[in-house]
Amino acid sequence: MQDWFRNIKLALTRAGVTVRSLVCSLIGLSFVVLAASACDRTPELVFGPEPLRQMTDDSAQFVEYSEGDRLLLLGYLNSIEVARSFGWQTKPAVGRPVDEVMDEARAWKKKLDAEAAAATDHANRN
């Protein structure tokens, strides 16, 4: 194993590369890769203490969502508030990522659409 390291060091020395410059280059490259990966990620949008107000006052944060998604999210947040005001135990949006709440809103809409279709089908049979 020591021969292997000695051979690598000898090859690097012959190529004009010192161990110190190699280590510095690797550290520099690591920092560049970390900085690039950190810049590539967009921060996750999380609902604050008043989700409905956040959507209306800070609407620029929600531009990545389509108008239909924003309306769906507003409807879902309103339904959560109404349900909580009647004492129903619902999972609040506060402190949760917007994408997570959006997924719940889509599932909620799908469930409402299925219930409406079933009610229409039942009414048409009678």
Instruction: Count up the domains in the chain and report the number.
Output: 2
103, 73: one domain: yes
Mean pLDDT of 13-42: 59
Question: What range does the domain containing 30 cover?
Answer: 2-40
Report the alpha-carbon distance of residue 72 to residue 2 in Å, rounded.
Answer: 65
pLDDT tens digits for range 75-119: 999 999 898 889 888 888 999 999 999 999 999 999 999 999 988
Q: 97 pairs with which residues across the strands?
A: 46
* Of the candidates 30, 23, 112, 102, the residue with the CA atom closest to the CA atom of residue 69: 102
Contact 51, 79 (CB under 8 A): no
Instruction: With a cut of 60, say whether residue 38 has pLDDT above it.
Output: no
pTM: 0.61
Q: Are residues 6 and 65 in the same domain?
A: no
Answer whether residue 48 shows pLDDT above 60.
Answer: yes
Report the pLDDT averaged over residues 3-22: 67
Would you state the pLDDT for residue 14?
Answer: 72
